[in-house]
Structure 1
Amino acid sequence: MPANAPELTYPFQPPEARQSLEVAPGVRWIRLPLPFRLDHINVWAIDDGDGWVLVDTGLNSPQTVADWLALTAEGPLARPLKGVYATHMHPDHLGLAGWFTRRAGVPLSMSRIEYLTCRVLHADTNREAPPDGVRFYQRAGWPEAAIETYRSRFGGFGKFIHALPDSFRRCTTARSCAGAGARGA
C-alpha cells in the first residue's frame, strides 16, 4: 500500500466464538468456524418480534452444531426461531438449513435454482464420478491431474449439507423473500 493510503478502520471487532454481536438494532452477527483455508463464515440473526430469523447457517459439522446449541441455549438467541434464509447453496451457507427447519419446524426461504441445484448435488453424495462426466472433461482437454481431482471430489458436496426440507419458500428478490407465503417448489 502507498505510504499515504488511509488506514482501514472497522466499526466492530468480530464476535467471540459461540457469541453474537448486535451490529444494528435487531441484527446480530455470528461468526462460525470452518475447517478450510477460509476459516470462518459470517451469518446473521434478525429479530422478528417474538423470535428471530437466521440468514445462512454454517457448515453441517459437529463443531457447528455444538456452536449453535450453545448460542441458542441462553442469551438473545434463546427465543423461537421463525425461519431460515439461505443466500446461496454453498455448504458453509446452507449446511445446517435442513437441521434448523426440522428442529424448529420453520420454513426455508431461498431461490428456486439454488434449492433445486443443491438437492441434485446432495443426491450425488458418495457416488463415483459418472463415466459420461469423465469422458466429457477428457474431450474438453482437461489434463489427467484435473480429471483425477474431479473423480476424487465428485459426490462430496452433500457431506457438509444436512438433508434439505422437502419444500421451501421461493425468493426471487429480497422483498419477495421477506414476504414469502407458503409457496413451495
Structure 2
Amino acid sequence: MRKLYTILSTSMLTLCLVGCSDTLVQIKDAASGINSAADQAATAISQDVHSIRAIEVTYNDQTFTINDLFKSILRDVQWHYEPSQQENVLLITGTWQPSLFDAYGIDQKIDNELAVHGEVTIELMVEENMIHEEKTKVTLVKQTETLLEENGQDILHYLYDYYTMNKITSN
C-alpha cells in the first residue's frame, strides 16, 4: 500500500511539473522580455545626453557640470533629450527640494505640500555644447497647479546661485 501511495504521488507530481513546464517557459520568456525592455530604456539615454550633462558651467569663479547642478538641487532627477534640426532641448524633471524657491515667497504650508507633490521641470536649449541661457524655462507644479513659471537667464542664474551657496555651506 505504501509503494502504491509513493508511485501515485510521484506520478501526480510528475504530471503537475510537466504541465508547469510550459508555464515556466512562458514566465522565463516574459522575464527576458522585461529585461530586454529595461536594457533598451537604460541605453536610450544617448551619448548626446551624457555629453550635455557633462557641460561645465563657470559661474562666480566656480566650475560645475550640469549634472552636478541638477542632481544636487532636485530629487529623483530624470533627463529627457529631444534633438531636432531647429533646437536641441534638454528637459530635466525632478522632485522639489525644500528651500529651492524660497526667494519666490513659497510659504510654509505650501512648502510642506511641495515636499510630497512638487515637481520641477527645467527646459534648456543646447547647441554645440553651449546652453542658451536666455531660453531657459523653469516650472514648479504642485499636483496640477502651476506655482512658478519663469523664463530666461535670471532663473538659471538663480539656480546657479542656489547650487553654489548650498555647495559652500555643505562643505
More helix by share: 2
Structure in which a larger fraction of residues adopt strand? 2
Q: Under a length normalisation based on structure 1, what TM-score does the superposition of the two structures give?
A: 0.24
**Larger relative contact order (C-alpha < 8 A, sep ≥ 6)?**
1
